Amino acid sequence: MKNKQIIGLVVAGAVFIVTGVTSVLTNTLSANTLAEDVTTMLAGELEFDPPADDYIGVVNVVGTIQEQTQSSVLDTSSGYQHNTTMDYIDSLMDDSDNKGILLYVDSPGGAVYESEELHDKLIEYKETTGRPIWTYMAHYAASGGYMTSVTGDKIYANKNTVTGSIGVIMSGYDMSGLYEKLGIRYVSITSGVNKDSSKLTDEQVAIYQSQVDECYQEFVNIVADGRDMSADQVKALADGRTYTAKQAKANGLIDDIATYQDVMNQMASEFGVDEFYTPSSEESILAAIFSKAEKLVPKSEAQILKETAEEKESGVLMYYAEQLQ
């Protein structure tokens, strides 16, 4: 075989290999891009696309403060979304054009874990950036909602806001009588006398009360730090009761009563920033369809009973205003 033929074969082979590798890489990148686009289209996501100039980031805490509720592309996002909110605050911290947070709270509270985590994330934002947080309370800013609110350097409430409810609750229903009537027998095999608390003993009540008391003390300390009050001053107000906006102002729990627009105007004037940014999110197409379809399917009595038991017997520690349900 002549040298020219050998060289030609080598070149042809090299071109074939390069073409094959390029084709594989192109197909892989195209598939990944398509998958991301389809996921975004189906599931929807919070898009962080802030203004190019200085702006105030609006952080909405609306609904019960709890775990992220959307678990798949077929679920609808509703109410407060914890992970999404935490990521959003991180994005604000990393953006030098962000000049502060306007915290919009319309919540009766929620789980101890998520309420404290959100509070701590907002404190981290202030300490890391040195930027201000102003709070506006809408319908409710109670219990865990109030804990979130005290991160604000200034706290404003609507004249019809219900706030306060500083305290902790752990609740559930004893449904053993109903189960017995329906012929359902509960059985458990445990490693210790306090592993199963389906029928509370005095010792178990004392155990859970100690946990409630510990969380309560933490709540008191957070309010004391946020409102520049002593722990004793907070405890005098923290028996679980709610307060009107006027009562809250008189007791030092808020700074003033105003409308949301008034607060925006005051914040814009004080910091010289006119732009207020709220990230947009698109609901999942499939989630919207399946959600509507699910509502059309009637639930059996057994399903209703099961869902009620799961909801009411959770025994989770809550910073929650039970009376606002």
Whether residue 59 contacts residue 88, with contact meaning beta carbons closer than 8 Å, is answered with yes
User: Same domain, yes or no, for 17 and 133?
Assistant: no
pLDDT for the residue 301: 52
Domain count, the chain: 2
Half-sphere exposure of 138 (CA within 13 A, CB side): 13
Mean pLDDT of 128-155: 97
User: Same domain, yes or no, for 219 and 244?
Assistant: yes
User: Same domain, yes or no, for 35 and 58?
Assistant: no
Beta strands in the chain (DSSP E): 46-47, 55-62, 98-107, 109-111, 133-142, 154-157, 162-164, 242-244, 256-257, 276-277, 280-281, 318-320
Mean pLDDT of 107-115: 96
Percentage, residues of the chain above pLDDT 70 = 71
pLDDT for the residue 298: 63
Residue 36 has pLDDT above 90, yes or no: no
User: Same domain, yes or no, for 69 and 3?
Assistant: no
User: Same domain, yes or no, for 120 and 6?
Assistant: no
Work out whether the CA dihedral 299, 303, 304, 310 comes out positive or negative.
Answer: negative
More confident residue, 179 or 249: 249
pLDDT for the residue 319: 77
Residue 201 has pLDDT above 60, yes or no: yes
pLDDT for the residue 12: 58
Mean pLDDT of 264-288: 82
Residue 305 has pLDDT above 90, yes or no: no
User: Same domain, yes or no, for 26 and 145?
Assistant: no
Per-residue pLDDT of 58-75, as tens digits, reads 999 999 999 987 545 445
Residue 35 has pLDDT above 50, yes or no: no
More confident residue, 179 or 84: 84
Q: Is 99 considered catalytic here?
A: no
More confident residue, 141 or 317: 141
| Band (85; pLDDT cuts 50, 70, 90) | very high
Q: Is 72 considered catalytic here?
A: no
CATH of the domain at 278: 3.90.226.10
How far is Cα 90 from Cα 57, in angstroms, rounded to an integer? Answer: 12
Residue 160 has pLDDT above 50, yes or no: yes
User: Same domain, yes or no, for 319 and 222?
Assistant: yes
User: Same domain, yes or no, for 7 and 119?
Assistant: no
How far is Cα 81 from Cα 123, in angstroms, rounded to an integer? Answer: 19
Which position among 4, 181, 195, 199 bears the catalytic label?
195
User: Same domain, yes or no, for 111 and 5?
Assistant: no
What ranges in 228-284 are assigned the alpha helix state H?
Answer: 231-237, 245-250, 260-271
Listing DSSP states for 58-84 in one string gives: EEEEES-B-S----STTSPP-S--HHH
Mean pLDDT of 142-166: 97
User: Same domain, yes or no, for 139 and 265?
Assistant: yes
Which position among 77, 115, 143, 165 bears the catalytic label?
143
**Residue span of the structural domain in which 68 resides:** 45-324
User: Same domain, yes or no, for 25 and 167?
Assistant: no
User: Same domain, yes or no, for 78 and 12?
Assistant: no
